[in-house]
Structure 1
Amino acid sequence: MEPVRLLEALAVAEKLKDATRHCYTSGGRRESVAEHSWRITLMAYFVSDEFPEADIEKLMKMCLIHDLGEAFTGDIPTFEKTESDEEKEAQRLKEWVRQLPKPFAEEMQALYQEMEERQTLEARIYKALDNLEALIQHNESDISTWIPLEYDLQMTYGNDKVQFSEYLTKLRNEVRNDSRKKIAECRAKSERGES
């Protein structure tokens, strides 16, 4: 990619550093979309031994680019995102990707299509990791940042995305167990009158 075009693409991606998500970090600040994307990419690397038949380079690319549309729209939590929001984000992203030089535009268009269809192993792994990372981050944040609906989401969100894999199902169960412990500790503190 020509240096000028690279700088233009990076300027768009940089917006994800300031695009905050609904979740908080363990340190108490809002998580950025860039941080979420980085960590699911790291997760893809760390689970690669569980999926020797998967194209890990393709999977990591999916993880890196999956939320680039939020550079244009910001993050809207899944429980608030409407079909109209999804269409707007997809349209803005498609327009931007079309302007990228070959071969990046073609590859990214193909990856986004594959991710949307979720028929390949890599696309299914990516989507499961995307959901799981959000749940893990909630477990790492202070429970005071959770909204009431998240107590149920921590038990159910992403369950359907992991069913294809015994390993990811086990990971989902561990995350759910962590959520149960966190909720139980919060209730115990409340019963003791602690804040």
Structure 2
Amino acid sequence: MKETLQEVMQVIKLAEKLKYELRHSWLSNGRRESVAEHTWRLSLMAMLIEPLMEEKLDTAKLLKMIIIHDLVEAEATDVPAFDTLENEQVKALKQAREQEAIDHLRDMLPRELGQEIHSLWMEFEEKETLEAKTANALDKLEAQIQHNEASIDTWLPVEHGMSFMLGKHTDFHPVLKELKDMIEDEAEKKMMAAGIQTAVLKQGQ
């Protein structure tokens, strides 16, 4: 048991990096957000939104998937979505680094536990099951909520249009679509208050 706990402790210690690995997201008080903070609120969102969905989801799997998904960033670091939006080379490099990281995490842990974490991460990436699609949708929505809460001065021009690109992740489910519409409406109002014209941005999506 001691050897097993030592293996688990390696991953727990590695995960500490997520407390200081910063995302391209600012909080409402002007501080940058850590990966760990994003994962925490994403988990809370899943707990609050999942009961509103008529389908019976595997809640434990959903939460595990969310907690595990960004664990790879302890080694691969965070790559902003706009960096991979129209750059296949950066996207491929990000995927390769994350795959290497999840393979390493699997091998650090006792066999069954390591394989479970690896399988859950792969399921999230494949986005075929309801739990994986829901986790992915909430991941994107939490990021936009945080974006909306930050000062408009922190927004890059590319992020203006990205605020209206959430539908491809959410529109498979009416509850997630309605939540997406609310979040996009918040983004639009924030931009319009800052004098940013949104009509053209919305047409381009």
Normalised to the residue count of structure 2, the TM-score between the two structures is 0.87
Segment of structure 1 superposing worse, 30-39 or 179-188: 179-188
* Larger deviation, residues 97-106 vs 35-44: 97-106
In structure 1, stretches of 5+ residues that fail to align are 189-195
Deviations 1:109-167 (A, max 9, x none): 211221122111100000000110110000000110000111111112x2101111000
Could you tell which deviates more after superposition, 28-37 or 50-59? 50-59
- Equivalent of 1:41 in 27, 31, 43: 43
Q: SS at the partner of 1:31?
A: strand
> Quick one: distance in 1 between partners of 2:77 and 2:101?
12
Matched, 1:122 2:137: no
Question: How far off its partner does 1:6 sit?
Answer: 2.9
Q: Aligned pair 1:164/2:167, yes or no?
A: no
The separation in 1 between residues aligned to 2:127 and 2:76, in whole angstroms, is 23
Partner Cα separation in structure 2 for residue 85 and residue 121 of structure 1? 25
The two structures, once aligned, show a CA RMSD in angstroms of 1.5
Q: Which runs of 5+ in 2 are unaligned?
A: 85-89, 197-205
Contact 2:27/2:149 (<8 A) preserved: yes
Mapped to 2, the partners of 1:48 and 1:146 lie a distance apart of 30
Give the SS at the match of 2:24. strand
2:87 corresponding residue in structure 1:
none
Q: Distance in 1 between matches of 2:94 and 2:127?
A: 20
> Aligned letter for 1:10?
I
Mapped contact 1:162–1:169 kept (Cα < 8 A): yes
- Alignment match of 2:112 (pick from 70, 78, 103): 103
Residue 59 of structure 1 aligns with an amino acid whose one-letter code is L
Q: Distance in 2 between matches of 1:9 and 1:69?
A: 11
> After the TM superposition, which parts of structure 1 deviate over 4 Å for at least 4 consecutive aligned residues?
none
Give, as a single letter, the amino acid of the residue that structure 1 aligns with 2:10: E
Aligned residue for 1:23, secondary structure, equals: strand
Partner amino acid for 2:188? Answer: R
Q: Partner residue of 1:87?
A: 96
Bigger mean CA offset, 96-105 vs 119-128: 96-105
Query: Percent identity over the alignment?
Result: 37
TM-score scaled by length of structure 1: 0.91
The C-alpha deviation readout for 1:54-73, integer Å capped at 9, x for no partner, is 00110001111111111012
Correspondence list, 1:121-160, <5 A: 121-156=130-165, 158-160=166-168
Residue 97 of structure 1: CA displacement? 1.6
- Give distance in 2, aligned partners of 1:98 and 1:115: 19
What is the alpha-carbon distance in structure 1 between the residues aligned to residue 41 and residue 11 of structure 2?
Answer: 21
Aligned residue pair count: 187
Tell me, yes or no, if the aligned pair for 1:17 and 1:34 is still in contact at 8 Å: yes
Maintained 8 Å contact 1:25/1:141: yes
Query: Corresponding residue for 1:78?
Result: 81
Indicate if the aligned counterparts of 1:69 and 1:93 stay in contact, CA closer than 8 A.
yes
